[in-house]
Structure 1
Amino acid sequence: MNLQLARLLHLASPVLPVGAFSYSQGLEWAVECGTVKNEALALQWISDALHFALARCEAPALIALMRAWRSADVAAVARLNAEFIATRETAELRAETLQMGYSLARLLRDLPEMPEAIRSTHASLAEIAYPTPWAAAAAHWQIEEHDAATTYLWAWLENQVMAAVKLVPLGQTAGQRMLVALSPALPGLASEAIRRADSEDWENFTPGMTLASSQHETQYTRLFRS
């Protein structure tokens, strides 16, 4: 197994200590109000979010940040980091990316192999979005863009499916069926993310997810933080 693959598995691991397991990104409200109530509807909700949010905004931002890190362009890192934070439409979504970004940046700070330039750049940012340190690690470990985007999308997908398994609720086999059904789209979506990063043709128009997230902020009982 080559080192880049091992590093990718590290970044995608559900035990990466960033708290990703505690967020549903509005899925919990969608279950609460009956929009998502079975495997088929969970599959559709997650697929829409994957295609219309992650592949069109978050993954392109990740690729652009990787390029900025590789070229040691601190100003570009700061600009892209701020621009991504500005795309978070609700308080919960904003808090999510900042908490996960802070946690991952702290982890990278404590890894001795990380160069001082990454630590100092993170320290210069008042707030850190999750894609920013993720891209720093991927760039430092010389991971190819397509592999990085595919892995980032997979990690998000796995987390969303496991949230659906807990919330709907669904059996573990149903969760695996959803992963098998949705994962073939990942390489194409990674290519789309790279194309959008090239052209800065980014968009984050997902009103259903935004409304679900805003409603979740006042949901009476919650398992998840978003």
Structure 2
Amino acid sequence: MRTEPGQLLLLLTWMSPAFPVGAFAYSHGLEWAIESGAVKDGAALKSWIEDLLTRGSGWNDAVLFARCWEETPSELNELALALAVSRERHLETTQLGRAFRIAAGVFAAPPLDDDEIAYPVAAGAACAAMAIGRDQALLAYLQGFSAALVSVAVRLVPIGQTAGLETLRDLAPVIASVASRALSASLADLGAITIAADIAAMRHETQHSRVFRS
């Protein structure tokens, strides 16, 4: 499927850090990992995000996003919500999903009107409804996921802007590989084994001093 200029511009708008979904307010548990010392430099950050992308929540989101071109969004949404491993992960994905649905409604009627909609399903279903190429859309989604986490580390570690850009550079082949795998994956390929990241998300709920909501 070829993405036309108008569709590409829409995709760039929807996946831009400036698109008002409030992603800047969430750390996906990374804030606790930084405070605990598990992530303290660019190398550790790259490893943390790579694990999420290849075998954690990022992988599950990639599969769910990609299936939006083939599956019923409402059924995917039920599965996505069930895969949220903690209260804050559930809050993060539903708040981002709801904000995306509202903001995307400026450009097109959203395919789902549920108040509780997981972010990858909201974004994937909207891209599919606008006939945006699935491969380009998935790359943009995973790049946004990674960039948001890098931004957290730039602010909290802090690793600095240059190290943050180097991390994104080094993650580019990982993002491309995960996107390629997810495009041919089925729902049977869902699953995560990033236990440390899941525990970090849970421990963030009781973290004494917090900047982020998750």
TM-score, shorter chain, exceeding 0.5: yes
Consecutive aligned runs of 4 or more in structure 1 exceeding 3 Å deviation: none
Note if 1:130 corresponds to 2:119. yes
* Aligned partner of 2:147 among 158, 168, 171: 158
Higher helix share: 1
TM-score, structure 1 normalization: 0.87
**1:80 CA displacement:** 0.8
Q: Distance in 2 between matches of 1:39 and 1:212?
A: 18
Note if 1:105 corresponds to 2:101. yes
Q: Distance in 2 between matches of 1:55 and 1:94?
A: 14
Q: Distance in 1 between matches of 2:122 and 2:44?
A: 33
Q: 1:90 to 1:54 in 2, by over 3 A?
A: closer
Q: Distance in 2 between matches of 1:185 and 1:3?
A: 28
The 8 Å contact of residues 53 and 204 in structure 1, kept in 2 or not, is answered as yes
The 8 Å contact of residues 54 and 153 in structure 1, kept in 2 or not, is answered as no
Q: Distance in 2 between matches of 1:38 and 1:55?
A: 21
The 8 Å contact of residues 14 and 104 in structure 2, kept in 1 or not, is answered as no
Instruction: Report the counterpart of residue 33 of structure 2 in structure 1.
Output: 30
Q: Distance in 2 between matches of 1:223 and 1:8?
A: 29
The 8 Å contact of residues 98 and 115 in structure 2, kept in 1 or not, is answered as no
TM-score, structure 2 normalization: 0.92
Q: Which runs of 5+ in 1 are unaligned?
A: 69-75
Q: Which runs of 5+ in 2 are unaligned?
A: none
Note if 1:12 corresponds to 2:1. no
Q: Distance in 2 between matches of 1:25 and 1:8?
A: 23
Instruction: Report the counterpart of residue 220 of structure 1 in structure 2.
Output: 208
Task: State the identity %.
Answer: 36
Q: Write out aligned runs for 1:42-191 (5 A).
A: 42-54=45-57, 56-68=59-71, 76-109=72-105, 111=106, 113-115=107-109, 118=110, 122-123=112-113, 125-191=114-180
Instruction: Report the counterpart of residue 196 of structure 1 in structure 2.
Output: 185
The 8 Å contact of residues 55 and 193 in structure 1, kept in 2 or not, is answered as no
**1:108 CA displacement:** 2.7
Aligned-partner residue type, residue 156 of structure 2: L
Q: Secondary structure at the match of 2:56?
A: helix
Q: Distance in 1 between matches of 2:65 and 2:137?
A: 9
Rg larger for = 1
Residues paired across the two proteins, number: 211
Q: Secondary structure at the match of 1:66?
A: coil
